[in-house]
Homo-oligomer: A and B are copies of this chain.
Amino acid sequence: MLIGAAMMPHGNPVLEPEDEETKRLAEVLGKIGRALSDADAYVLISPHNVRMSDHLGVVMAEHLVSWLGFEGKELPGEWRTEKELARKIYESAKSAGLPVVDMNFAALSGDYSRWPLSWGELIPLHFLEKKPLVLLTPARNVPREVLVRFGEVIGDVIEWSEKRVAFIASADHGHGHSEEGPYGKVKESEEYDRLVMEIISENRLEKLMEIPKELVRKALVDSYWQLLVLHGLLKRVPMGVRETSYACPTYFGMAGALWVR
């Protein structure tokens, strides 16, 4: 069964927060970790693992291994894949006609069945107790409805599982918040972030479907596609939102939110 869900950021600043807003966000991430600490497994969707244009991914590799930090920030660690749950998500998504692939690496099982993790997974995982994982990857060039449907399938599979499972969407928002940032300052980043935080605070994720594609594109976000999957999940298992928090200490917006039954 689904015990909760969270949106979690993956930017280095939450690891060593310097301003009050980011400290508050890091505190919320700590609360999310505690609230979901009695899960048997996490299902984590990340925009900084494998990136395929038009196929969703389900990682089947047994060992998930820290590989790539951002700006030299290393977070070593190794996690196990919850293979049975991963297989059910893959098979159900495939049966539902979704464009999905199962992904292993090197060997199909055993010590050599390994998969690399980046900051996109490692930073959320830093705030969560170590549990077996199912790692999923979104896709940008599929219709929004496909992502929502994927979330519905994931929700159904988790809900039918005997395990207590939490769903985590790794997501950062607009990346154009600062003249000094790599993308400069674009007004759409602020607009998108404000809109998304409004949608999340009101717990009306169906409104994500109304966000113009152009705004998503111009706002330079890492969050939209995972949030559509979360929306699908919450359609199947409605939950209340708790503990939302937003910070933008550098050039990109970060936010946390917790949903519990």
Contacts and interface: CB of A to CB of B under 8 A. Distances in A.
Contacts of A116: 67, 105, 116
Interface stretch (A15-23, A33-41, A47-55, A228-236): A47-55
A122 B54 CA distance: 29
A223 interface: no
Contact of A68 (B104, B108, B112): B112
Contacts of A52: 101-104
Contacts of A51: 103-106, 108
A52 B115 CA distance: 13
A11 interface: no
A107 interface: yes
A60 to B, nearest CB: 8
A149 interface: no
B104 A50 contact: yes
Contact of A106 (B68, B103, B112): B68
Nearest to A116: B116
A118 interface: yes
Interface in A41-98: 48-55, 67-68, 70
A96 B182 CA distance: 38
A88 to B, nearest CB: 15
A177 interface: no
A174 interface: no
Nearest to A102: B53
A114 interface: yes
A118 B105 contact: yes
A138 to B, nearest CB: 13
A53 B106 CA distance: 13
A49 B106 contact: yes
Which 5 interchain pairs have the tightest Cβ spacing?
Answer: A51-B104, A106-B118, A52-B101, A55-B101, A48-B106
9 contacts: A48-B107, A49-B106, A50-B50, A50-B105, A51-B103, A52-B101, A55-B55, A68-B112, A106-B118
